[in-house]
Each structure stands twice: as C-alpha cells, then as structure tokens.
Amino acid sequence: MSRVLPALGRPGTWLAVAVLLLALPTGGDASSTAAATPSDLALVVAALLAGKELLRGRQLPMARSIPALGFLAIAVMSLVAAAVAQNFPDNVIGAMRFVELFLLAPLAVMVALRDRTDAAVVVGSVLGLGLFEGVLGLVQFVTGTGAGIGEESIRAVGTFGAYNIGTLAHLTAMGYVICLAAAVVQRGSARWWGAAGAVVFALANVAALSRGAWVAMALATVVILSRGRPARLLATVATVGLLGALILPPLVAGGSSVGERIGSLLQADATPDQSVTDREALWRAATQMAFDNPLTGVGPRAFPEARDAYAEALLLTGNAVEREFLAGRLRELGPDRT
C-alpha cells in the first residue's frame, strides 16, 4: 500500500489507465461517441492531478511553454466556435471533446512526464494496448472476422469496431514508431526487443489496410533511421526506395487485398477509387463550409448535418450500383450539370 497510494496520485498512472481502458468496446455506432467512456473519466482524473501539480508550481514552466499555449488557443477557439455557431447548444458536447483532446490530454501528458518512471508507464501502456489490439487484429485478418472491405471481412479493427475503422491503424503506427526508435537508439537486448516489436506492429498495421497509416509509417521510418543526419537521410531514402521497388510490384500483381490497397494508393492520382473520391468530396464540402461561414464555421459536431447540403450527389449515394448509375447519368447531362 505504501507504493500504491503515491502511484495513484501521479497523473501518469491515470494516463496509463485511460489508455488501457480504450480496449473496452463502447459500441459500434455514431451515437456511442457522445457519451463519456471510462477512458474519458480516467483522463479527467489525470488532468485534475496535472492541474494540482501546476498549482503547486512543480511544472509551471511546462504550462507556459509554446506547445501548451498552442493547445490552450485551440481549446479557447473551440469553445468560442461552439458558443457562436448556429446549432448552439447542441454542439457543446463537441466543443468539450475538443477541449479534452487538444487541451486536457496533451497538457496532462506534458505535466505527467516528470522522470523516466512516468515515461515508462505512459509509453508502456501505449505499447501494451497496441500489442493486444494488434495481435487481435492479426487474428481477425487471418480468420476473416474483422471489418468488411470489398467482399471480405478481413480488415483488422481489434476491439474498436468497424465504426472506428482507423483506430487500430493509428495505435499500431504509434507502437511501431516507439519500437523502431528503441531499436535504433538502444543497445543489447533492448534493441532486439524493439526490433521484434516493430515487426509485430508493422504486420498488424498492414492488416488494418489503412493506406494513410502506411504512408505515415514509411515517412517515420526514414526520419527515425536517418537520425537527423543528411548523409544518412539520403542513404535511408535510397534504401527504402530500392526495397519498395523490389517488393511492391510483385505484391500488387499478386492480387491480394493488401496488394489491391497498395495498387489503389499508387494509382490514386490517375484512377482514384471510391474511397479517395469520397474523401475529396468531403474536403471540398468542408472548404465550401469554411468559405460560407468564415468566422464561426458550422460548429463542432455539426459537420454531418451540414455535409448533406454541400457534398456532391455521388457522395450521398451509398449503394455501389446506384453510384455507377448516377455517375453515368451525370456524364450524360454534361459538365454543366455535374
């Protein structure tokens, strides 16, 4: 008990609890995101303990740093946007979520990391959750019990569910970056454990079939291996490019789900698939919303309601057959009607 009670008073302990509680399934629809989860409650405790540290002056310079002021500015702008937006007060929940993600969470992390023990607890929780979810995702990929993509149910999603389709990809990408960095800078057995962890996280990320995560991991790999040295950066880029030239063509030609996703990524500019065109339509809709509401925006969490008024008809049509039919009709009507 003499060690447990002091540990419960450290923000880092509750940050680790908040991370580990993310593994709890919270539902598979959009409505589940509005309610507070156990992870949210643990994060609030961590933020309160971090605030206590700041009031005592232990970490006050950290709270005055440029990153902390940037997070504070984001939180204030979110609250102001919620207060003046058209759908007030329905968007207050969205504003509070912004405050949680862009102020409470990062500030709690900054205050919590006082020494190597805190860093080990927080980073270890991320690695532990990522390893659990990654292994579960690999099982889903192999057994066909994951989320659907095309005509198969092989997309690794872990316990996060199909609604949070990219969460596993983001988590395993963070685990990969941590392990790869450990493999680069550590010595002895820690280096080999880091390399092994990086392989596991990379495989789980591949099973998540998230093209954006793949690109981010490739860039992170170059940065970590180069370690800020120009000559090493050039050598790393050349090595990664050579490996890509050797591995990617046969993988794409193999016709597997992974190969198809890589092929669609390489051909995104010439022949984008429906996923890419949908995202481009969403970006155009968001841009137009910003132009029409330059000062207040449409409000936090109001994007789904405003989307239907701005997005193209192809985006609003969910059935693939209907998409193709509507696309043909729009082509027949000519460019003036598209």
For residue 319, what pLDDT is reported? 44
For residue 321, what pLDDT is reported? 42
For residue 272, what pLDDT is reported? 67
CB atoms within 10 A of CB 148: 11
Give the H or E element holding residue 153. strand 152-155
The residues of the chain scoring below 70 in pLDDT are 1-6, 26-35, 58-63, 266-273, 312-338
Residues 6+ apart with CB under 8 A from 149: 155, 209, 257
Q: CB of 108 within 8 A of CB of 50?
A: yes
CB atoms within 10 A of CB 10: 19
Q: CB of 100 within 8 A of CB of 74?
A: no
**Vertex 133, ends 129 and 137: CA angle to 5°?**
165
Q: Residue type at 132?
A: F
- The span from the CA of 206 to the CA of 142, in Å, is 12
What is the distance between the terminal CA atoms of the chain, rounded to a whole angstrom?
A: 69
> Tens digit of pLDDT for each residue in 5-38?
667 778 888 899 999 998 887 655 544 445 678 8
Q: How many helices (H) and strands (E) does the chain have?
A: 17, 2
- The span from the CA of 318 to the CA of 263, in Å, is 23
Residues 6+ apart with CB under 8 A from 220: 173, 176, 177, 180
- Return the bridge partners of 155, or none: 147
- The span from the CA of 254 to the CA of 182, in Å, is 33
CA-nearest of 40, 63, 39 to 50 is 63
Cα dihedral 133, 175, 104, 20 in deg (nearest 10) = 30
> Tens digit of pLDDT for each residue in 143-170?
999 888 877 888 999 999 888 888 999 9
- The span from the CA of 162 to the CA of 156, in Å, is 9
Structure tokens at 102: 């862009």
Q: Residue 67, preceding bond cis, omega within 30 degrees?
A: no
For residue 123, what pLDDT is reported? 93
The model's pTM is 0.80
